[in-house]
Amino acid sequence: MIRGENRRVTRYDVEFVAKTITCNKCGKSADIKEGDYSDLHFKREEFPTIELSFGYGSKWDTERWSFNLCEECLESLVESFAHKPDGYGEDYY
Tens digits of residue pLDDT in 59-68: 999 899 999 9
Say if residues 57 and 7 touch (Cβ distance below 8 Å). Answer: no
* pLDDT for the residue numbered 35: 62
pLDDT at position 19:
78
Tell me the CA distances in angstroms from 54 to 50, 59, 69, one per residue in order: 13, 8, 20
Residues contacting residue 92 through CB under 8 Å, at least 6 positions apart = none
Instruction: Specify the pLDDT at position 46.
Output: 86
Q: What is the pLDDT of residue 92?
A: 72
Measured distance CA(70)–CA(42) in Å, rounded: 12
Q: Does 3 score more than 70 pLDDT?
A: no
Q: What is the pLDDT of residues 5-44, one digit of tens each?
A: 556 655 555 555 667 889 999 999 988 766 655 555 556 6
Q: Are 33 and 59 in contact (CB under 8 A)?
A: no
